[in-house]
């Protein structure tokens, strides 16, 4: 066109920057206890700290391990969303990481030793934002940050109130 001979096949569009949230909290429990509650018993406890999860179907029986996948259905502000994710890292006692398969997201739960227990660092990232949603990146970032802060607070509250693992509670009932 216009006399220009340009090979567009080799060009890639620039990807927009990822958008996410990061939150941390200190939990008055040992790092191993916090890690086990989140990572080992992930499929039993995840809906407890993330009440937006209304369905969760892991591909295999617990405990969570690298390569496992799960389908989740969330309901937030009346919007139903379904996605599939894979566990990409389980490094006892410090890391559980997930990657979206059907949606471009990643999340991680990192645990560090702290003088008063364990520090939990939760990260959630949307790797791509649809073109129609890009004008709302600031709002999306704020919502993801609020969500990350709520996640760590929910986990801290469950662990510090002595709430048993969902699997432990089921076994004793």
The CATH number given to whatever domain includes residue 135 is 3.30.530.20
Q: What's the rounded Cα separation, in Å, for the pair 70 and 63?
A: 13
pLDDT in tens, 23-32: 999 999 999 9
Does residue 37 fall inside a structural domain?
yes
Q: How high is the pLDDT of residue 171? A: 44
pLDDT in tens, 74-113: 998 899 999 999 999 999 999 999 999 999 999 999 999 9
Do the beta carbons of residue 23 and residue 125 sit within 8 Å?
A: no
Q: What's the rounded Cα separation, in Å, for the pair 159 and 146?
A: 20
Does residue 1 fall inside a structural domain?
no
Q: How many domains is the chain built from?
A: 1
Range of the domain at 145: 33-161
Q: Could you write out the DSSP letters of every residue in 6-74? A: ---TT--PPPPPPEEEEEEEEESS-HHHHHIIIIITHHHHHHHH-TTEEEEEESSPSSP-TT-EEEEEE
| Residue indicated by tokens 């220009």 | 4
pLDDT in tens, 39-71: 999 999 999 999 999 999 999 987 899 999 999
The continuous run of DSSP H or E covering 138 comes out as helix 137-160
């Amino acid at each position: 066109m216009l006399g220009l001979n340009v090979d567009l096949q080799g060009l890639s569009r620039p990807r927009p920057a990822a958008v996410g949230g990061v939150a941390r909290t200190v939990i008055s429990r040992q790092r191993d206890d916090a890690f086990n509650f989140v990572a080992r018993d992930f499929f039993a406890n995840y809906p407890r700290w993330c009440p937006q999860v209304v369905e969760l179907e892991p591909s295999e029986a617990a405990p969570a391990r690298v390569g496992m996948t799960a389908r989740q259905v969330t309901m937030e502000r009346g919007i139903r969303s379904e996605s599939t994710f894979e566990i990409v890292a389980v490094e006892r006692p410090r890391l559980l990481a997930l990657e979206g398969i059907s949606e471009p997201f990643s999340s991680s739960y990192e645990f560090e030793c702290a003088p008063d227990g364990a520090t939990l660092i939760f990260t959630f990232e949307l790797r791509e934002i649809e073109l129609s949603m890009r004008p709302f990146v600031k709002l999306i970032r704020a919502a993801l940050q609020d969500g990350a802060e709520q996640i760590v607070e929910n986990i801290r509250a469950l662990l510090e109130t002595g709430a048993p693992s969902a699997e432990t509670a089921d076994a004793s009932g």
